[in-house]
Structure 1
Amino acid sequence: MEALQNLDLTPFLISLKLSVVTTFTLFWICLFLAYFMAYREFRAKSVIESVISLPLVLPPSVLGFYLLVFLSPYSTLGKFFDENFGLRFVFNFSGLVIASCIYSLPFMFSPMLSGFRSLPASLRHASWSLGKGFFATLFRVLLPAMKPSLISAVVICFAHTMGEFGVVLMIGGSVSEQTKVASIAIYEATEILDFTSAHLYSAIMLIFSFLVLLAMHFLGERSNKIRL
């Protein structure tokens, strides 16, 4: 009981904040990206889809290393932002957001792409024939028809970001109250043989992950019932 009272919940708050910001950012990026990739044909389409899906198979440490190299204030890109805007993207929360958006991109993109591709083309054509523009067709016709895919994309992206370790460790390190997320807190507790804290951190993450998945199934079933 005493260990629970002394448990620092800041890493979970940072993880939660990171997940919310990453999910919100990727939702809008992937919404238009998935629409474009679903309904446009061009030569480099398969190449772009492969690049977007690369984080699914690329080791997190590899992705984290290259992000660290490119975003470092000693690199051309990092130096440009540092000298002109005073922005540094390593070992701070901004860097975590950039790394998380890149690493979690396919987890938001893939369900959205599948959702758009599952819709009949007649749905778009009917909307256009009635004089509806792009945004009206997208937000009033297409998105309501692919709600289960949107729910899956948001929940999976959010849950995946909550559990990130390798990428956030490489780009953000373990700065207290800034970049020390829950997964890093578990690792550090285990490293110093503080198994009590590691158990508590892990149990909280386990319960949270279960509740997120339960919510996804509940919302998915509810959406299917409404459609029926």
Structure 2
Amino acid sequence: MPDQDFIYTLLLTGKLALVTTTILLIIGIPVAYWLTYSRFKLKFVAETLICMPMVLPPTVMGYYLLVAFSPNNAFGNFLQEYLDVRLAFSFNGIVIASIIANLPFMIQPLQNGFSALPDELRQVSYTMGKSRLVTLFKVLLPNIKASVITGIALSFAHCIGEFGIVIMVGGNIPKETRIASVAIYDQVQALNFEAANRYAFVLFILSFFTLLLIYGINRKINFTTFR
């Protein structure tokens, strides 16, 4: 029977992925919309910064975030001194780190979805007197359901498997920052391969069914669209 530490670690992993994905969806929709339709000349700089986590080693990003969150740094000291918020080696800290690390996995599918839509959809909606907000939620988003689902699933799955940035920012604190990927590393270091295998198997199954969900729903949406 699974021990309490095993269950709690999995629950903490799911909590991190759920919180991160929810915040990313709220942030991702307006950012992807702006990146798609804005004519700002330096937009490519924003796109570059958003996609940096895809090519930058997680430990590098984790190191800089840890330095920023540290009470010895001006930003970290301000948070702790005036707001009583500690981000280094805390759950809130790894949530922020996970949001930054997974931002491209939400933004890119949404941006690709918006880009694939004919611009006439927006123009007709505006002609009918609809606001940008109504056009976004009533016209555009219903037509990119597959992209929204893909962004949610990819962000959730990638967050579950995140390791480098989490261990740099949060460390390995039981019931606080010790998620499943960190627990696997910890158990392997302790030569406890049975426990490591349990964590690894659960993450494997979650990743498999997440991808299965993406392909299954997208296939159904595409079939319904072109029927």
- Aligned to 2:80, the other structure's residue is in SS state helix
CA distance in 2, matches of 1:68, 1:30: 24
Equivalent in 136, 149, 152 of residue 151 of structure 1: 149
Matched, 1:123 2:121: yes
> Alpha-carbon deviations, 1:63-118, whole Å to 9, x = none?
00000001111111111111111001011110011000000011111111111111
Aligned counterparts, 1:25-174, within 5 A: 25-174=23-172
1:204 aligned residue: 202
Greater alpha carbon shift after TM alignment, 140-149 vs 216-225: 216-225
2:47 counterpart letter in structure 1: E
Cα 1:6–1:82, aligned 2, differ >3 Å: closer, same or farther?
closer
- Deviation (angstroms), 1:6: 7.1
Greater alpha carbon shift after TM alignment, 20-29 vs 41-50: 41-50
The number of residues matched between the two structures is 226
- Aligned to 1:146, the other structure's residue is in SS state helix
2:72 counterpart letter in structure 1: Y
Asked whether the 8 Å contact 1:7–1:197 carries over to 2, the reply is no
1:175 aligned residue: 173
Greater alpha carbon shift after TM alignment, 19-28 vs 216-225: 216-225
CA distance in 2, matches of 1:176, 1:106: 29
CA distance in 1, matches of 2:185, 2:26: 32
- Deviation (angstroms), 1:5: 5.6
- Aligned to 1:222, the other structure's residue is in SS state helix
- Aligned to 1:168, the other structure's residue is in SS state helix
1:193 aligned residue: 191
2:221 aligned residue: 223
2:14 aligned residue: 16
CA distance in 2, matches of 1:117, 1:105: 18
CA distance in 2, matches of 1:196, 1:55: 32
CA distance in 1, matches of 2:86, 2:99: 17
What residue ranges of structure 1 are gaps of 5+ in the alignment?
none
Greater alpha carbon shift after TM alignment, 174-183 vs 199-208: 199-208
1:137 counterpart letter in structure 2: T
- Aligned to 2:107, the other structure's residue is in SS state helix
CA distance in 1, matches of 2:4, 2:168: 28
Cα 1:102–1:6, aligned 2, differ >3 Å: closer, same or farther?
closer
What residue ranges of structure 2 are gaps of 5+ in the alignment?
none
> Alpha-carbon deviations, 1:121-153, whole Å to 9, x = none?
100001111111111100110001111111111
- Deviation (angstroms), 1:44: 1.1
- Deviation (angstroms), 1:43: 2.0
- Aligned to 1:9, the other structure's residue is in SS state helix
Runs of 4+ deviating beyond 4 Å: 4-7
TM-score by length of 2: 0.96
Q: CA RMSD in A?
A: 1.2
Greater alpha carbon shift after TM alignment, 199-208 vs 57-66: 199-208
- Deviation (angstroms), 1:178: 0.8
1:167 counterpart letter in structure 2: I
- Deviation (angstroms), 1:157: 0.4
- Aligned to 1:42, the other structure's residue is in SS state coil
Asked whether the 8 Å contact 1:107–1:156 carries over to 2, the reply is yes
